[in-house]
A = this chain, B = another copy of it.
Amino acid sequence: MGGDFKPAESVPVPTLRRLPSYLRLLRGMKGSRVWVSCTHLASALDLDPTQVRKDLAYTGVIGRPKIGYQVSELVERLETFLGWQTVREAILVGAGNLGRALIGFPGFARKGLNIIAACDVEAARIGGEIHGRPVLPMEQLPALVARTGARLGVLTVPEQAAQQAAQAMHAAGITAIWNFTPVRLVMAGVLVEDVDLSASFAVLSHRLTRQDRGGAPTSSGVSRGEQR
């Protein structure tokens, strides 16, 4: 009855993308510092202090004027807010070069990401292990998802196989896909986040091209990439 419903005001994507960099910095100073200010974080990351303050506010943390924020609390808040405190099981689909690299990535543990198995269609890959994780045939994906309760999938198949593989993942019960292929997956009811190497390289390559042609570099020499 108290019509004071907050519409879950969704967090801006740029903010979400900056949060991990704060967390990384804060984890590094956890032993040596008790308090930290936005000013400090901002200058370390070359950002605007107000922006940092607004970003942090989304986590619900409350700072003290003149003092700043408690490092330990901020770390905790960020981890909780990002969902990095609970371990999340994931299945990787496509055990090629990139897939193998991701399975072996040490940093994922700190983000609550645990890739427990891989699936592939190539007979030569099936039955083996990558960094201690089994590689299973694609047909076993539904059973695997059912058995492990994994809801997250990491998609690292070749471009041509992407849409079909994503469909299979959805059918198997996967509800979120971390998509490393350049394909815009057409899927309703599945949360998709793209890691688009082509897009990133496009920015770099275009600017390099202008640079080569004697394009006027910024005063600071050259500007840096976006997508912070």
Q: A: which residues have CB within 8 A of B?
A: 8, 11, 13, 16-21, 24, 45-46, 81-84, 88, 96-98, 100-101, 104-105, 107, 111-113, 151-152, 159, 175-176, 178-179, 182, 184-212, 215-216, 220-228
Contacts and interface: CB of A to CB of B under 8 A. Distances in A.
B111 A201 contact: yes
Contact of A221 (B112, B189, B223): B189
A2 B206 CA distance: 28
A198 B21 contact: yes
Given A112-B205, A222-B189, A195 B184 contact: no
Contacts of A196: 17, 20, 227-228
B225 A8 contact: no
Contacts of A21: 182, 184, 198-199
A172 B111 CA distance: 34
Most buried by B among A111, A206, A221: A206
Given A182-B20, A208-B151, A190 B221 contact: yes
A101 B180 CA distance: 13
Q: So how many copies of this chain end up in the complex?
A: 2
A152 B208 contact: yes
B188 A17 contact: no
A225 B194 contact: yes
11 contacts: A17-B199, A17-B227, A20-B202, A152-B208, A179-B225, A187-B224, A190-B221, A193-B224, A195-B200, A196-B227, A199-B228
Contacts of A111: 198, 201, 205
A176 B193 CA distance: 27
A207 B177 CA distance: 12
Contacts of A227: 13, 17, 194, 196, 199, 227
A192 B225 contact: yes
A17 B200 contact: yes
Contacts of A45: 184
A83 B222 contact: no
Contacts of A203: 13, 16-17, 193
Contact of A101 (B88, B98, B190): B98
Contact of A215 (B8, B188, B189, B226): B8
